[in-house]
Amino acid sequence: MRRTILSVNYECIFFYFVGCLVIYQSVMGDPRTQQVNVTCGRQLENNPTIFVPNFVATMENISEQMRTSGFGIAVTGSGPDINYGLAQCYGDLSLLDCVLCYAEARTVLPQCYPYNGGRIFLDGCFMRSENYSFFQEYKGPGDEIVCGNTTRKNSTFGESAKQALSTAVSSAPNNRGYARAQVTVPGTNESAYVLADCWRTLNASSCRACLETASASISKCLPWSEGRALYTGCFMRYSDRDFLNPVPRSGRSRGSVIVIVVSVVSALVVLGVAVTIGIYIWKRRYIQKKRRGSNDAHKLVKTLNDSSLNFKYSTLEKATGSFDDANKLGHGGFGSVYKGVLPDGREIAVKRLFFNNRHRAADFYNEVNMISSVEHKNLVRLLGCSCSGPESLLVYEFLPNKSLDRFIFDQNKGKALTWEKRYDIMVGTAEGLVYLHENSKIRIIHRDIKASNILLDSRFRAKIADFGLARSFQEDKSHISTAIAGTLGYMAPEYLAHGQLTEKADVYSFGVLLLEIVTGRQNNRSKTAEYTDSLVTLTWKKFQAGTVEELYDPNLMLHHHHYSNVKNDVFRVVQVGLLCTQEVPSLRPTTAKALQMLTTDEQLPAPTNPPFIDEKTMELNDTCEDPWYPLNAGLSASIATITHSSFHPR
């Protein structure tokens, strides 16, 4: 199995927001996202239709826990495709650094598919997934050590390393499984550094047993300068390099800290200066690494300051009645939206975001940067933003009919959407996507096309909203690989499994949307006592059987005494929806071609099967040539070197 490890693409440490500089005040640490080892299970998943959603749900559950505690366990499903998951950051990582490390781990673990288990050790965190409860395991046949062989040390260093290992082993079991140790090497200015971490599901005795065995094994790496023990229930590392993150000034963040310094006071002073200089150098390197993003931010700041896009926080607070719940329009993955009225009488929608982690901050910057560069009748218009108060706000045009999902998934409100209005919404959404994909200087992929992100104006015209997840890339790139983010039920299989992102991911989501508009059913909530398949699979089966009309929303017929007049049009939309949701990306049309299919009478090709129909699902053996778009000419080669993604559903 080929392995290509992605770097996490998050804006970190420094963010410039509309003239404001936000600096995280917590300890600037190293998330240590370097991969040490990945081990996949040997048992194949039983049913991909069940296994994949279970795995994604487990990752989603763990994600929420990791952001607050640096540790998470979850269980999803039952039977042979049940999924147990565990993730943990090592005790010296701050929560902010933990988020980054965990995100990187999630980009790698999906590479084990179609096997139903796997574990990954990074230098900053651990993650494991299985189809059985492994939470109490602390030893196993897969336990191993990894020795560094770049520098050979003398016996004096070896004795110091053993002393540090012994101290960590004795201290960690009664300290939530975490300990760190530093022992200076006599007669030198060197030290031996040790980190020990047991998974929090273990009791003290199991933790001690795991660390004792791991310590004995890792000692075999001496006299080499570095060693790691990768055990079923714990992780240990020693090094002649200070890889540990600084201790927070406020004290102990996750577990006690054990530091043994056999040295004089002057050595402590030198160490303090060294740590300070080290942090400074690290920050400078991080800034240089992110310089391109910072320059983009500066350009954005200048653009906003030179225009009328700035709003005072007090103005928006007053406009929304101090964010009164009575003015709340909705709540999503990126914050709450409120209706407001400006002093000049203009109605606005204000998106309110709280930056409690790096993701939210990056999303805010991304959305301002992305949407301020595009303008189209079928895209929600950004009026401005504000970060002068205690939180950052985005200001959009107000659309009185809110979002499409409020109508098509409600039998009563759905009566307001005639077939003609639904058709116009589909065409308008397609036109907006064509603009994003083809008419911009930089191609933009929205990544979260769904009914709740299609807003409706007073005449029920569609406008695409929520660009927090959008990504752009240059014309000379056939695809990009990125951490997964989106909504279950709308994400294309190649993107969900491997982070393979092209415009075809948006095409898949658009296809799901077409089927939802026609049926009035939500794809990721379609399982009922009557139907056990997803909407896409169900529609495919009914289409094959010639009974797809059974799924049509009854509201489509309320406004037509002669339903046969629009029957062919409805069926055509279903066929386009199935073409857009085909499993093989290259067989899906581009959005421009999908728009053409919707608006002309050209003959349509027969759709092939959607994802999760058979056991070959998501193997991505995409060798077909794209009949409509040259973008995918090289996609087969790209897919052959599989990239990996993280599951971060919203």
- Say if CB 536 and CB 523 are below 8 A apart: yes
Position 51: which residue type?
F
Using the Cα atoms of residue 169, residue 171, residue 175 and residue 181 in order, give the sign of their dihedral. Answer: negative
Question: How far apart, in whole angstroms, are the C-alpha atoms of residue 379 and residue 442?
Answer: 16
Active-site residue 197, yes or no? Answer: no
Answer left, alpha or beta for residue 602, where phi above 0 means left and psi between -120 and 50 means alpha.
beta
Residue among 92, 197, 363, 448 flagged as catalytic: 448
Please choose, from the candidates 463, 373, 452, 394, the residue with its C-alpha nearest in 3D space to the C-alpha of residue 425: 463
Contacts for 562 with CB less than 8 Å, ≥ 6 apart: none
Question: How far apart, in whole angstroms, are the C-alpha atoms of residue 436 and residue 527?
Answer: 33
Contacts for 180 with CB less than 8 Å, ≥ 6 apart: 91, 92, 168, 193, 194, 195, 196, 244, 257, 258, 259
- Say if CB 230 and CB 144 are below 8 A apart: yes
Q: Regarding beta strands 125-130 and 118-122, do their DSSP bridges make them parallel or antiparallel, or are they unpaired?
A: antiparallel
Q: Regarding beta strands 71-76 and 20-23, do their DSSP bridges make them parallel or antiparallel, or are they unpaired?
A: unpaired
- Is position 312 annotated in a ligand binding site? no
- What DSSP assignment string belongs to 207-266? HHHHHHHHHHHHGGGTTEEEEEEE-SSEEEEEESS--SPPPPTTS-SSS-------S-HH
Residue 394's φ and ψ, nearest 5 degrees, are: -115, 140
The counts of H helices and E strands in the chain are 16, 23
Contacts for 525 with CB less than 8 Å, ≥ 6 apart: 489
| Cβ count within 10 A of residue 143 | 17
* Binding-site annotation, residues: 351
* Binding-site annotation, residues for ATP: 351
Catalytic residues: 448
